[in-house]
Structure 1
Amino acid sequence: MSAERRRAFGRQVAELRRQRSLTQSELAAVIGRTASWVSQVERGIQPVNRFDVLRLLADGLGVPLHILQPDVPPIPDADSVDETSPNDLDQARLLISGHAALDVLLEPREDARPALVPELRGEVERIWELTHAGRFAALSAALGPLVPRLERASRTTLAVQRSEAHRLLARTYQALAAAFVRQNEGDAAWVAADRAIREAELAGDPLGVFVGVFRLVHAFVRLQHLDQAEHAAATAINVLARHAEADTTPVEELSVVGSLHLALALVHARAGERAAARQQIDKARAVAARIGTERNDFNLEFGPTNVEVQAVSTAVDLGDAGEALDIAQGLDARELSAERRSRLLMDLGRAHAQRRQFGDALECLLRAEEIAPDLIRGHAAARGVIRELMLMAGRGASPELRGLAERADAMA
């Protein structure tokens, strides 16, 4: 790289950094370099030739690689990730593998930029859009630059904005926990959920703490720690349900307590406790009836239809395939997110497989894949039923089934 190209490259880096409202120290912390190194890059003194460093710098600035280096082949960003490729949450795991704001701990300061929190609020909304769409590869890419910015904002924004920054960070870790659960990464989901609980408490958001417990329950279930899952869910319900009995209970609180009943139903179903699981489903139905419509408070997607979607899943977990198919009859899930619609079809595929209706099972799984490819290709239950279909079909497996098994890495 010539001296003139280094200077032009440095000016571009500086401009992109200012557009993201980042200081040199903040950008350095995001990419694991020193503020001096960033300063030398921006002044054209330090060349950046290695591909991995270029990509790290682009991620820190929140831009595609080819924006920094036009002669490099374009790398997909979070909005254009190839959803047909295998999902990879390695980047997301790295986000929770350390402390994302160590530089702030050593150099405490207050950031008075008024536009910082509203900008971050929009980015967190985008994170949840990707989560509800089941686009986990895109989600992982989008979280890379966002989490360090949120961690720093929660420590450096003006006191009047700090509570909101903690709230946004809690919501982000909740999304991360949900994604890890759906991709069978229970240990990472546990860490993310625990951080969500802490951030919600720092934000002064008690309902957000209960939502974090909901995410924690699902992490425990994924790890097959059913005793811990039951304890966490039951403890939260015992406290919150008392407040939800009043006619004046806010609908947001009803959504949380109803979701916790569904989480506890899942725990009982995985433990084979049929009566206890159905009891919790009935309690969730009663709460949903009080609400009367589909809602998405705290991104929980709780409402009458989602309760029935969970009832289908619970019946399948209990081996009651006929009951699951009966519940699904006439169920209209079009108002739910792509992730919920895909999950319903996946569970119906499992139900058909239990009844040896392999053609119907394959049809449901293929439809689910069309809606949310990452969910079907990364979900342990989906891969399990695909593998079962392959075993039963043997050499007579259809091209459609064989293709699905290859995409899900579920060849028998």
Structure 2
Amino acid sequence: MPHYADTGGVAESNGQRLARLRARHRWTQQRLADEAGFSLASVRAYEQGRRSLDRSAIVLAFAKALDCHPTEITGAPYVPLNSDTDGQAAVASVAGVRRALLRHGRPARPEEYEVAAVDLADLHKRVDEANAFRQAAALAKSGAMLPQLLRDLQVACEVVEGAQRREAFSLLTSGYECAMQYLYKLGYTSDATLATERVVWSARETEDPLRALASQWYDAGEFLSIGEHDEAGAIIDGALTELGTVRESTPEAVSLRGAFHLKAALNSARSGSPAVAENHWERAKAAAEELGEDRNDYQLQFGPTNVAIWGVSLPVEMGRGRVAVNRAEKVRLPAKFSPERHSHHFIDVGRALFYNGQREQALGAFLRAERLAPQATRMHAGVRETVGTMIRTQKRGELVELGIRLGVV
């Protein structure tokens, strides 16, 4: 259940968790301000909940100063309310998925019936179904499939040979990617990191150079999420260099190159290099124009629409609400885009509107995101912190009702 401090019924904010971490170090607010590179007034505003501590770059700066994991500030993972039956169902499979991930690399020791049941065509169908549930924001259904699916994929990789082995590892990679996204959406970042390691390892076993490179996209994201920007940048630069040696500009290679430029843009945005971030975004836009369509190679959605979506996300990362709002007005999401992707976009739009002082419109965007993907929205650290800040300063009807569903009231 959420922890309530003396906040008039509002759950503990990121700023209050920050204050507790600071107290653990026996630092003054001035010391934290100096160590993290912020003003004393900013630290006070964050700790008192008057300013939303939702931007990753700022959370990471405080986490590095206090030598803690960012989730110690954001409070993830969050426990769904008892009344949230869908949320309870979504997290019910986390332990089973975790066990399957821990079994990776160990002898499968399959029973005879498991060996006899190996059917790559059927496994392909099940992997597609699990990913389809995830993209449709049906996290409970996706999670329920994953433990047995991952076990069956691990068995297949152990018992088949030759070209079938490479195919089995490609399916296992997709299964691990699905598990990674499922865990990440629910706020289980440590388990998602474990899944990412499995993605990287299994992708190498496919003997497909582009598949292995695609896994590096996720690996770079792990370092980015803990503020290790140099390491993330090295992985991204290495991938882009290798992609530059690909002789044929296949759609898969172009899509992958564009996706890495987007990741580079995010890394630059969070590390305080807005001009570099904008340059990488423009290069991604050029790749999307070369591609001429939206694709989903290696589970990495890339194309003109996705570049436009990131055009909103990046200024949000940098706290540039007006730029993000202006760009959001030009984004047109096709109906074929998944509810998961739609909801994430409206979360970014909501945060942009909040930064721009348009609180009523921000609430509308968050409610729209919640309708599309209830659990992913309720578990989103930025939504929870932003809505909590709005409630502390402006309690009213729908806003409080959303706060209750999020578990921040």
Decide: shared fold, TM above 0.5. Answer: yes
Bigger radius of gyration, 1 or 2?
Answer: 1
Contact 2:269 2:314 in 1 (8 A): yes
Which residues in structure 2 correspond to 1:161-172 (within 5 Å)? 161-172=164-175
Paired residues for 1:7-406 under 5 Å: 83=86, 85=88, 87-88=90-91, 89-99=94-104, 102-104=107-109, 111=115, 116-243=119-246, 248-334=248-334, 335-393=336-394, 397-406=395-404
Residue 212 of structure 1: CA displacement?
A: 1.0
Greater RCO, 1 or 2 (C-alpha within 8 Å, sep 6+): 2
The range that moved more, 89-98 or 161-170, is 89-98
Cα distance change of structure 1 residues 270 and 90 upon mapping to structure 2, 3 Å threshold: farther
With over 3 angstroms needed to count, the CA separation of the structure-2 counterparts of 1:380 and 1:194, relative to structure 1, is: same
Aligned length: 323
> 1:88-109: per-residue Cα shift (whole Å, max 9, x none)?
234323322344853429x999
Q: Aligned AA for 1:153?
A: A
The verdict on how the C-alpha distance between 1:198 and 1:409 changes in structure 2, with shifts beyond 3 A counting, is: same
* Identity over aligned pairs, percent: 28
Tell me how large the CA RMSD over aligned residues is. 2.4
SS at match of 1:261: helix
State the shift of 1:410 in Å: 2.5
Structure 2: how far apart are the matches of 1:356 and 1:153? 54
Counterparts of 1:241 and 1:189, CA distance in 2 = 30
- Please tell me whether the aligned partners of residues 104 and 198 of structure 2 are also in contact (alpha carbons under 8 angstroms): no
Structure 1 residues 202 and 190: CA distance shift in structure 2, 3 A: same
CA contact (8 A) 1:186 1:220 kept: no
- Give, in whole Å, the separation in 1 of the partners of 2:201 and 2:112: 21
Deviates more, 1:357-366 or 1:200-209: 200-209
- Give 1:166 shift: 0.7
Change (3 A) 1:378 1:100: farther
Gaps of 5+ in 2: 1-83
Per-residue deviation at 1:132? 1.6
Alpha-carbon distance in structure 2 between the residues aligned to 1:363 and 1:195: 38
AA partner of residue 340 (structure 2): E
Q: Is the 8 A contact 1:134 1:374 kept in 2?
A: yes
Query: How far, CA to CA, are the matches of 2:393 and 2:318 in structure 1?
Result: 22
Return closer, same or farther for 1:234/1:186 CA change in 2, 3 Å cut-off. farther
Amino acid at match of 1:348: V
Q: TM-score, normalised by structure 2?
A: 0.73
Partner of 1:68: none
Q: Distance in 2 between matches of 1:327 and 1:193?
A: 31
Q: Taking structure 1 as reference, are residues 128 and 257 closer, same or farther at Cα in structure 2, changes over 3 Å only?
A: same
Q: TM-score, normalised by structure 1?
A: 0.73
Could you say if the C-alpha distance between residues 149 and 408 of structure 1 is closer, same or farther in structure 2, counting changes exceeding 3 Å? same
Shift of 1:175: 1.9
